[in-house]
Amino acid sequence: MASIVLRVSTLFQHGRTPGQEFLGGDLNTTPSTRALLTALGLAFGPTVALGFARFAYALLLPAMRAELHWTYSLSGGINTANALGYLVGAIIATPAMRMFGTKLAFVAALFVTALALIGLGLSDHYVWLMLARGLAGVGGAIIFIAGGALTSHAASSAPPRLAGLMLTTYYAGAGFGIFLSGISLPFALAANTNWRTLWVILGLASFAVSVISSYTAWGLKTHQTQVATAGTWSARGLMLPFFAYACFALGYIAYMTFSVAFIKANGATTLQIAVFWATLGLAAMLAPRVWSVPITRWRGARGMGSAMTSLAFGAGLPLISSQFVVMLVSAVLFGGSFLSVVASTTALARRDLPASAWNAGIALFTVVFAAGQSFGPLISGALSDGAGGLRIGLAWSAGVLALGAVIAFAQPAKPD
């Protein structure tokens, strides 16, 4: 990833953004390289929206619980606030893109989310933390929808074999954020760095990478008529993927919120926690090579169903054994699949909807996702507070993900 940042910096020195290079310049690059650079530049959006703003909470949660004396239900409530904010962001994203343009909505959401992360370090009052997490959710949803739309339109101008790789690369940006969090936050906590300070650092890091994504977005040449209006379209043909995606939202968040607390409760060291989370993030970063073809070329929603099957197995492994080696395998399966489920929704929208409806289709998938993950932390938190502990919460995760996989496989293929 460092080489990518160096490459992007070189483009700026030449007075061009990655998006401009892909769509117009050459700088001695091939179409494949230009397409990948565009996706990578935009991918710092999910790094902020998910890698930092959503999933870093799992690493900081044990320290926050210990100091603030939270139950798992209260811990889940903070994530529900983030999810409700995400739902609000998903609802307002399409009107915001129509009013201000997709690029401006994307860039503004990046910096709003970074500010919200800094806000998490300014107070330990529960209501304040809920509001800051909620604002981060609003920004994260707009980042995801607007960035997904920008990537989709850029992929339309790329060679066909690269379209799927661009989409999965964009969403894999969240894996980079998870990886960075994994190799830094556990050691900082072990060195007695206060969790408030770490939230501020995450916010400042978000500002830094948002600059790259912003330059990339402004360099893209989009067709404003396609971006601004949805035209006439129907979502009825995607009802099964919508239900499957709701199951994904309900199930994945339990694992991503409480998996670190689970291995910590089973005696994991600081190094093991760091390796586990970094492995999950690294698997997410490498996932595009595995899932780009299934989610864009397999008929129906089989790509989504296959990724959710992998997720269910990954979430279920801790129920078999809490040994660290087993948890690493779980991290590989889960990390290598969960962002590809998100990418599959964009691929389905691109394949089954007219180009003028891509924004609205992606937004509707995001609304379904946001609604599902709003209830996920509360359900899994309440289950984890019961007699079975975190193991029951993870069982819920695996079961709902398996149900979603079955529903996705039932989606009929669109006639050629």
Q: Region 22-27: what's the mean pLDDT?
A: 42
Q: The tokens of 292 are what?
A: 């780009």
pLDDT higher than 90, residue 206: yes
pLDDT tens digits, one per residue of 91-121: 898 899 989 999 999 999 999 999 999 999 9
pLDDT tier at 142 (50, 70, 90 boundaries)?
very high
Half-sphere exposure of residue 188: CA atoms within 13 angstroms, side-chain side: 19
Q: Return d(Cα 322, Cα 266) in angstroms, integer.
A: 7
pLDDT the model gives residue 232: 57
**What is the chain's Cα-based Rg?**
20
Range of the domain at 121: 31-409
Query: What is the helix, strand, coil percentage profile of the chain, to 5?
Result: 85, 0, 15
Of 190, 152, 78, residue with least CA distance to 356:
152
Judge whether 3 lies within some domain. no
Judge whether 1 lies within some domain. no
Q: Return d(Cα 378, Cα 180) in angstroms, integer.
A: 27
Coil vs helix vs strand at 115: helix
The helix or strand, by DSSP H or E, that contains position 401, with its residue range, turns out to be: helix 390-409
Judge whether 269 lies within some domain. yes
Judge whether 154 lies within some domain. yes
Q: Return d(Cα 132, Cα 115) in angstroms, integer.
A: 9
Q: Return d(Cα 202, Cα 185) in angstroms, integer.
A: 10
Q: Which amino acid is at 223?
A: H
Judge whether 22 lies within some domain. no
Domain CATH for 391 = 1.20.1250.20
pLDDT tens digits, one per residue of 216-262: 998 886 544 344 444 555 667 788 888 999 999 888 877 887 788 88
Q: Exposed, middle or buried by CB within 10 Å (0-12, 13-18, 19+), for 73? A: middle
Judge whether 334 lies within some domain. yes
Judge whether 48 lies within some domain. yes
The alpha helices in 298-357, defined as continuous H runs, are: 302-320, 324-335, 338-352
Q: Give the C-alpha distances (Å, rounded to integers) separating 175 from 46, 54, 211, 318.
A: 8, 12, 19, 21
Judge whether 13 lies within some domain. no
Alpha carbon 161 to chain centroid, angstroms: 23
Domain count of the fold of the chain = 1
CB 254 within 8 A of CB 389: no
Of 262, 308, 31, 60, residue with least CA distance to 157:
31
